[in-house]
Chain A
Amino acid sequence: MAGKKQKDDVGGLSFEESIKELTNIVGKIEQGQIPLQDSLQQYERGMALIQHCRTILQKAEKRIEKITESEDK
């Protein structure tokens, strides 16, 4: 089902992309133009995005990668 597939690929989005889509979704639902069925789907996607954002935030990066000059100039 299209709805389920939508939820699953949230994981690949960056924080910026997620927030953008989230804002979009909230706007769409608030305007009330889309049919109820779609609203519910969008809601589910929105919640998935929120969860995804929270997951990103909770991950604290401990490592710092060092870059050095490359051999080939």
Chain B
Amino acid sequence: MAVLATGHIDVYTVGGKYQLYVDKLEPEGVGALQLAFEQMVKKLQAEGLFDDVHKKPIPAYPDRIGILTSESGAAVHDIIDSIHHRWPCVKLFFYPVPVQGEGATEKISAALRDINRRNTKFKLDVLIVGRGGGSLEDLQAFNEEVLARAIFNSRIPVISAVGHEVDVTVADLVADARASTPTKAGVVAVPDMQEVSGQLVGIERRLTGQITARVKLAQQKLEIILANAVFRNPLLLVQNAQQQLDELSAELAETVKELLAEMREQLSAAYEQIVRIEPHRLLGRKTVELNDLKNRANAAIKTITNNRRMQLTAQASCLTGLNPKSVLHRGYSITTSKKTGLLVRNSKDIQIADLLITELADENLIESKVTKK
């Protein structure tokens, strides 16, 4: 490397030598690169590529990290170790790229685009792009516009980890976060496991404490309720009801008694009334009357019947007396003509040789013929 030395020349008297005492030493030929860098920064800043509003947040607990750096060199190991040391549970993916020389910028940019395109497969949460320390020339690839835009356009957050602390490249400015060196990449990319473990312990304590307090509170509430009279004497309700029942029972009995007494009185009064009427006497009298009437009726009927019988007998005698046939018993007879059937009263009614029918008292009919008149 060429340098520009500023100082004074003096004589070292002992050896008789001319020596250059250097006051200031600068790298030579770097001026152009430096200028180009400053111009690039100005340009991209004006476009707003470095604005905070564009910077994506780095995930707090990344699951998968992609590393883009050179396969050779210490940087890759520094980055990996710094991450592993802090957060060993993260999965690392390494995409080797050249970090200086011809076409390095293009290769790194292409790699960034490639990963973004295929991230549905890799599912990376954050990318680290970096390299170890070096001269401004060595770091040139990280000051190029192409890479700046590739970093800007990356949908995956990008952390830059370039060079030494004092080295600030364009990539550092446009990245979503900057690690000052590759060894600091871990600090920026991942949390500290110890710290997080401690936080978990704290959370556990809070959680347990809260729940214990709540359960205690609930228990107290329960105890207060259990202390209530109803729980101390659960039969209280039953006893109250029982009491009510007894009282009503007694009332009922009382009321029934009164009702019965009342009815009994009514019955008595009615009985008295009836007795006053002396129904048995009345009945007796009426029975006598009835018998009397019955007898009289019977007697009357008998009398009437007798009368009628007598009348009948009288009339029957009369009738018997009037019976023409009774004459027959005295020897008379009834003579009728057989021919005419008429009674023969005198001899004119019949002729000689007529047939006669004679009825005698024994009701035999005798037939005879007239022989002489």
Hey, which bits of chain A sit against chain B, CB under 8 A? 14-16, 19, 22-23, 25-26, 29-30, 32, 36, 39-40, 43, 46-47, 50, 53-54, 56-61, 63-70
Provide the bound-state CA to CA distance between A47 and B63, in Å.
21
B306 to A: closest C-beta gap in Å? 118
A64 to B: closest C-beta gap in Å? 5
A-B contact count (CB 8 A): 91
A47–B207 CB distance below 8 A:
yes
Contacts A58-B89, A61-B84 given; 16 further ones with Cβ under 8 A?
A16-B61, A26-B206, A36-B218, A43-B207, A46-B207, A50-B207, A53-B200, A56-B89, A57-B89, A57-B193, A59-B88, A60-B89, A66-B95, A67-B93, A67-B94, A69-B111
- Chain A residue nearest to B113 (CB atoms) is A73
Which of A43, A46, A53, A66 is in CB contact (< 8 Å) with B96? A66
Provide the bound-state CA to CA distance between A17 and B42, in Å.
40
Query: In the assembled complex, which residues on chain A have CB atoms less than 8 Å from the CB atom of B91?
Result: 61, 63, 65
Determine whether B260 belongs to the interface, using a CB cutoff of 8 Å to chain A: no
- Chain B residue nearest to A69 (CB atoms) is B114
Determine whether B196 belongs to the interface, using a CB cutoff of 8 Å to chain A: yes
B94–A57 CB distance below 8 A:
no
Secondary structure of the A contact surface, majority rule: helix
B118–A65 CB distance below 8 A:
no
Query: In the assembled complex, which residues on chain A have CB atoms less than 8 Å from the CB atom of B208?
Result: 43
Query: In the assembled complex, which residues on chain A have CB atoms less than 8 Å from the CB atom of B141?
Result: none
Provide the bound-state CA to CA distance between A58 and B111, in Å.
32
Secondary structure of the B contact surface, majority rule: helix
Also in contact, A19 and B61, with CB within 8 A (given A57-B89, A57-B193, A61-B92): yes
B207–A25 CB distance below 8 A:
yes
Interface residues on B, range: 35 or more
User: Can you give 14 contacting A-B residue pairs, CB < 8 Å?
Assistant: A14-B61, A14-B63, A16-B63, A22-B203, A32-B214, A36-B218, A43-B211, A46-B207, A53-B196, A61-B90, A61-B92, A66-B93, A66-B95, A67-B95
Query: In the assembled complex, which residues on chain A have CB atoms less than 8 Å from the CB atom of B61?
Result: 14-16, 19
Also in contact, A26 and B94, with CB within 8 A (given A50-B204, A69-B110): no
A57 to B: closest C-beta gap in Å? 6
Provide the bound-state CA to CA distance between A29 and B211, in Å.
7
Also in contact, A39 and B204, with CB within 8 A (given A19-B61, A54-B197, A61-B88): no
A26–B203 CB distance below 8 A:
yes
Query: In the assembled complex, which residues on chain B have CB atoms less than 8 Å from the CB atom of A67?
Result: 66, 93-95, 115, 122
- Chain A residue nearest to B68 (CB atoms) is A67
Also in contact, A64 and B94, with CB within 8 A (given A43-B207, A54-B197): yes
Provide the bound-state CA to CA distance between A50 and B279, in Å.
108
Provide the bound-state CA to CA distance between A53 and B218, in Å.
30
Which of A23, A32, A54, A70 is in CB contact (< 8 Å) with B118? A70
Provide the bound-state CA to CA distance between A60 and B81, in Å.
12
